[in-house]
Amino acid sequence: MKITDKRVKRWLKAINCLELDERIEEYPEDEREGRSDIQFFADELSYALENYNEEGHCWNEDLEESRRILRETKNGKCIPLDPRTLKPKYGYRPHDIASAKSTVNEYRRMLYRYEQLQKEGITGAWF
């Protein structure tokens, strides 16, 4: 589906979520049911936030794991080492911490944009 609203395009770029971008691009135009770009964006964003908050969903598990990693490493400042090799423990390597930060920041960007939509009186169908 093609989004024409410049604000929605800018927000999608700011959120930087591949899954959300793909859902919007692959959505059939004929099933849009007359919703504006901003309302459609709010619905899809609320669905993504619902996935992050739903117990048992893989996005929720990834978010909780990312938060745990950041909590245990004090936001990446204290990396636990393996005493035998003196290398970072499995799951605490720099790319794991960067991935955890990326996941948490993606969720925060989504939540911020959704709160901005709610201030304007636009709510999604899911969240």
Stated pTM of the model: 0.90
Residue 78's contacts (CB-CB under 8 Å, 6 or more residues apart) are: none
CB 39 within 8 A of CB 47: no
- What pLDDT is stored for residue 126 in this prediction? 86
Q: How far is CA 78 from CA 44, 48, 94, in A?
A: 37, 31, 11
Per-residue pLDDT of the chain (127 residues; tens, 9 = 90+): 889 999 999 999 999 999 999 999 999 988 888 899 999 999 999 999 999 999 999 999 999 999 999 999 999 999 999 999 999 999 999 999 999 999 999 999 999 999 999 999 999 988 7
- What pLDDT is stored for residue 110 in this prediction? 97
